[in-house]
Amino acid sequence: MLKRDLMQSLEAWRQADPHKPILLRGARQVGKSWLVREFGKSFSHFVEINFEKQPEPKLFFQQDLDVRTLIDKLSLYTQKIIKPKETLLFFDEIQECERAIIALRYFKEEMPDLHVIAAGSLVDFALETTGVPVGRLSYLFLHPLSFAEFLTGIGRHDLREYVLTQPIDAVFHQQLLEHVKEYFWLGGMPEVVETWVRTHDADRCQDIQGDIINTYQQDFAKYIKRFQLDKLDKVFNAIPTQLGQKFVYKQMDPEMRSNVLKTALHALQKAGVIHIAYHTTAQGLPLAGSRNEKRFKVYFLDIGLAQRLLGVSRRDLLTVPMNVKYLGGIAEQFVAQNYIAGSSAKQSAALYYWHREEKFSNAEVDFVFLKGGDIIPVEVKSGATGSLKSMRLFLEMHQQSPYGLRVSELPFSIHKDLHTIPFYGIEAWLKQ
């Protein structure tokens, strides 16, 4: 059984007094429902309403939104006790009942001692219609397993803890890199990792990845309104081929209008399927203040699913050296995914990169991360070597940045204003 780091945030929320209802956000099949059910085992009573599978309770919310009246009806419907401090009430797939989203804001005011969690894979689309009840809800974000969580999941929590205590012995450095390569292929979707731990059947894991991708594609019909299904599907399938590159619309389909493609990307982002890294000048905080929405890179939800769409085999990724066409982009995907997963659970981390185009200069830094209020340029190297000219230029132009960060197969090291961390060291770096 997998353990998720977000459970600690849920436990802290339970002990808080007062507490707001939680809206748990994240893409489909990242483990939201499972996590809440596991958390519910620690309560005397657990009540789950799935608005997708149980349409009847929707009727309760079409009438008066008085919380006590709703609780009485839900208790009668489920034949379960709903009692403050003793019950966890879980509204799953809440985007199917927008009136229930509106009702969440009243639980804090009318029944503050009742623990309420809502979740939904496409809830961000519903929030565009209902509005975000600012100040009346708490938000938590669940992502695919980070590499650190992956280590715990495969029974190597000892290695995860060891990474936090540096320096790293060469033997364990190599062991960890082998697990990184494993994660490159498997990714962090809970069902895939669980299956790998249980069976070590690579073909079965690949089948599950394919099933998850098909599920996402089936969801397209739920939020397709302004463009054709085949167009969105085409964008979805093409994204992994541009990992780590400035996104070029024409590279996908020269015949497709850019506004259609832009709308498609917006929909995929709302669904949590992709992450967009915008260009920033990074001259000061906030980074969004100098964001250029016309220049961006796109990363996938999960590295394993990206590999599946690219058709990369496990054998390809376990080969030394890793001789894969899209290896540079895959390495960036790993870093982006783990930076997002390792950042605050209360908000989804924004991604940025830096690029300078001049007549005789074409410099680019893969990412610009925020850490402790510092702006940190990040270069990702799929191997142990690679030029750092762009990072040097960035540091010269951004005196406020204390150092540059290189992520590669090399072990932890610090040399003047260059900090090097291995792929497996992102959690350790974030916790420093």
Which residue(s) pair with 164 in the sheet? none
Lowest mean pLDDT among 88-102, 167-181, 280-294: 280-294
Kindly report the backbone phi and psi dihedral angles of residue 189, in degrees, each rounded to the nearest multiple of 5, phi listed first.
-70, 125
In the chain, where are the structural domains located? 6-141, 224-431
Per-residue pLDDT band at 344 (split at 50, 70, 90): confident
What is the reported pLDDT for 192? Answer: 97
pLDDT, tens digit, 9 for 90 and up, residues 206-228 = 999 999 999 998 888 776 654 55
Class of CATH domain 6-141: alpha beta
Nearest to 378 by CA among 315, 426, 412: 426
What is the reported pLDDT for 360? Answer: 65
Half-sphere exposure (Cβ direction) of 282: Cα atoms closer than 13 Å: 31
Six token digits for residue 196? 């790998």
What is the reported pLDDT for 320? Answer: 46
Per-residue pLDDT band at 318 (split at 50, 70, 90): low
**Is the pLDDT score of 204 beyond 80?**
yes
Kindly report the backbone phi and psi dihedral angles of residue 121, in degrees, each rounded to the nearest multiple of 5, phi listed first.
-70, -30
256-260, Cβ contacts within 8 angstroms, sequence gap of 24 or more: 256/231, 260/226, 260/227, 260/231
**CA-CA distances (angstroms) from residue 208 to 90, 215, 237, 265?**
27, 10, 17, 24
pLDDT, tens digit, 9 for 90 and up, residues 4-24 = 999 999 999 999 888 899 999
The proportion of the chain whose per-residue pLDDT surpasses 90, expressed as a percent, equals: 64
Q: What is the pTM of this model?
A: 0.92
What is the reported pLDDT for 323? Answer: 47
**Is the pLDDT score of 257 beyond 80?**
no
